[in-house]
Amino acid sequence: MLETLGLTATAAAVYQSMLDHPSLGVDQLAAACGLTPVQVHDCLDELAELMLVRASSEHRGQLRAVSPDIGLADMLTRQEAELAARQAQLAASRAAVSRMVADRAQQRSTHGERLLGMDAIQGRLEQMGHAARSEVLGVHPGAAQRPEDLAAGRPANAAAIARGVVIKSLYQDVTRNDPHTTVYAHWLISLGSEVRTAPVTPQRLVIVDRTQALVPIDPADTRQGALHVTERGIVTALLDLFEQAWSAAVPLGATRPEDPETGLTGTERELLRLLGTGLTDDAAGQRLGISSRTVSRYMSSIMERLGSASRFEAGIRAAQKGWL
């Protein structure tokens, strides 16, 4: 269990032994855990870095384990702060990329080309897929992907993977409930590709070989047209946006656990954040790929857990508890 918090298995074993037997020295810990004294010292260094052990006041030169309700809780708090910082960075990057792409969409140069209509978009995607040599990165927001679009992408993706191209696809958590998308995603995984999901994703995006990208002209209506960009600065910014979103996403097949401190799922926490910024139920639902009715159901559940009679009161209590 502790490995999910960033501990190695050996350090977790040493920490557990120290909690169970506070008086054990290095040699005794080594014997109890089936390790060498050198390995125990390495584990103690790891635990000290994570602030899970401290110098003993009773035994000179010996370390003691910090109680889990303090040490592990502090670790969770630090990880939550790091996640919040990454989310803030992602939001700033998303805004910067949107401004940059919007500016570039007003220009016509050798570094960018406007493609109008789905036929033009599909044709360019086919060209980009055929030209791919090392990597294809994709962001696919929305509650579900069109079955015909998924079917159309199979031959090109299969051919690219056969050439050794790495494909990484990012979907929203809500697509885990869509049979067409999950079947397609598991097909990609079976061929060696990677698929992850997140409560909220950036706009629709495809990046090929880190040299060219395709983004929608209007994120609200992606079938209207797209902008094909090759300018290094824009592609690099889009790569940063993808990698930040990818690092916070969960591989398909793995479960996204509830927050142990709040009991909130990732979607519920993100919903609270979106509503807290002033978005309506419809707007927040669009960002999460869920209906306004589902938003209301989630909020009713959150209000019940908070013991709140109104959303306003729920917002105050959520802020007091550090949920926002």
Topology of 2-66 in CATH?
Arc Repressor Mutant, subunit A (1.10.10)
pTM: 0.51
Residue 5 vs residue 83, higher pLDDT: 83
The domain locations on the chain are: 2-66, 91-251, 266-320
Determine the pLDDT at residue 213. Answer: 92
Q: C-alpha dihedral over 105, 111, 116, 118, to 10 degrees?
A: -120
24 pLDDT higher than 50 = yes
Partnered with residue 138 across adjacent β-strands are 169, 206
Cα–Cα distance, 238 to 241 (Å, whole number): 5
Q: Which two tokens stand for residue 275?
A: 């509503």
Q: Note the pLDDT tens digit of each residue in 115-144.
A: 888 888 888 888 888 888 989 998 888 777
Write the DSSP assignment of 166-229 as a string of letters: EEEEEEEGGGGG-HHHHHHHHHHHHTT-EEEEESS--SSEEEETTTEEEEESSTT-TTSEEEEE
pLDDT at 108: 46
Same fold, 2-66 and 266-320: yes
Digit-coded pLDDT (tens) for 265-302: 777 777 777 776 777 777 777 777 777 777 777 777 77
Q: Which fold has domain 91-251?
A: Endonuclease; Chain A (3.30.870)
Taking only the tens place, the pLDDT of each residue in 172-193 is 888 877 888 888 888 888 888 8
The end-to-end CA distance of the chain, in Å, is: 26
Query: Burial level of 50, CB count in 10 A (0-12/13-18/19+)?
Result: buried
Burial (0-12, 13-18, 19+ Cβ within 10 Å), 266? buried
| Structure tokens belonging to residue 304 | 């019940």
**CA 241, CA 243: separation in Å to the nearest integer?**
6
266-320 CATH, one of 3.40.50.720, 1.10.10.10, 3.40.50.300, 1.10.3730.10 = 1.10.10.10
Residue 67: its pLDDT value, please? Answer: 77
**What is d(CA 234, CA 205) in angstroms, rounded to the nearest whole number?**
12
